[in-house]
Amino acid sequence: MKRRRFVALIGGALAAPIAWAQQSARVYRIGWLGVVSPSLSSHLRDAFEQGMRDQGYVVGKNLVIEYRFADGKVERLEGLARELVAKEVEVIVVGTNPNIAAAKAATQRIPIVFAVGTDVIGQGFVKTLARPGGNITGLTWDVGGGTVSKAIELLKEAAPRTSRLAVLYEPPYQVYYREAVEEAAARLRLSLVWIDAINDFEGSFSGAMRERVNAVYVLAGARMFGRRAELVALAAKHRLPATYVNLEYVDAGGLMAYAPNVAVSFRDAARFVGKILKGAKPGDLPVEQPTKIEFVINLKTAKALGLKVSQSVLLRADRVIE
């Protein structure tokens, strides 16, 4: 064989795998449908993108994420979901129930992965946790009423004078957790005042004060989550010890929270997305529940409220802000 022909053959053989790799390289496109504004949910996006990197999908290399944000306006979600469907994304990632419902209304074909679902069977999102069926799966926030009950119990321990508790809620979460809240209140001998707080935070706190409450439980979803700094500021203004349904409220200056870590849930949602991109059907992927509940307390806030938190409470905290 002549040298020139040999070199040409070898060169072609070496080039073939490179050309094949270039042809086989694929960029995946997924959608993100959020209620909360970008600035108030950046840690959730960071957690999710880290989870995707752990699965081998990197934004700017083999992954594009189409972000859509309703900026707290739930009525915008369905339109934004339709935009993602029109973009022909391969998976839609959502957070709480309004997002799930909007994505479900927009498509029964594209897989939907939720990170913070609540009562997902009762709401008709999945058939069962073990076999969701359809095009929806993910992770729930639900860990049973015990989490809600424990949050109230810890508040009572940190603020022993609590006798009348305002439950500031975002519909429909008062329906999901009413039984657990009432059970805890009865056991701890607390009176309850239920207040729909979604439309008027200032008025809700003023109403709570008229009812002579001396502590607050904020039982909220994504819309109130996006305005958590306002809620925390109002609790401080009225000097009310408060426990919250998400850990982020404590980072914003709230007193305490006993809850699943939402950022971890979004990171874990990436596992579902990765499996789906590799060919798994969402209806075959079991819905997961949180495996760890975190207790976080803010001692600066406790001091401002004149509370002396006992050592027994502090020893149970996963994180103490000082």
Within 13 Å, how many C-alpha atoms sit on residue 115's CB side?
28
Q: Is the pLDDT of residue 21 over 60?
A: no
Identify which has the larger pLDDT, 50 or 17.
Answer: 50
Alpha helices in 37-194, H assignment, sequence order: 42-54, 77-86, 97-106, 145-158, 173-188
The per-residue pLDDT for range 237-254, each reduced to its tens digit, is 999 999 999 999 999 999
Structure confidence at residue 4 as a pLDDT band (50, 70, 90): low
Structure confidence at residue 25 as a pLDDT band (50, 70, 90): confident
Q: Is the pLDDT of residue 16 over 90?
A: no
Where does 26-142+262-284 sit in CATH, by number? 3.40.50.2300
pLDDT of residue 11: 53
Mean per-residue pLDDT of the chain: 92
User: Which range, of 3-7, 33-37, 44-48, 151-155, averages the lowest pLDDT?
Assistant: 3-7
> Yes or no: is domain 145-259+294-321 CATH 3.90.930.60?
no
Say whether 145-259+294-321 and 26-142+262-284 share the same fold. Answer: yes
Domain ranges across the chain: 26-142+262-284, 145-259+294-321
- Which residue bears the tokens 């997902």? 120
The per-residue pLDDT for range 140-150, each reduced to its tens digit, is 987 777 899 99
The per-residue pLDDT for range 275-297, each reduced to its tens digit, is 999 999 999 999 999 989 999 99
Supply the pTM of this predicted model. Answer: 0.89
Q: How far apart are CA 2 and CA 12, in angstroms?
A: 16
**Percent above pLDDT 70 for the chain:** 93
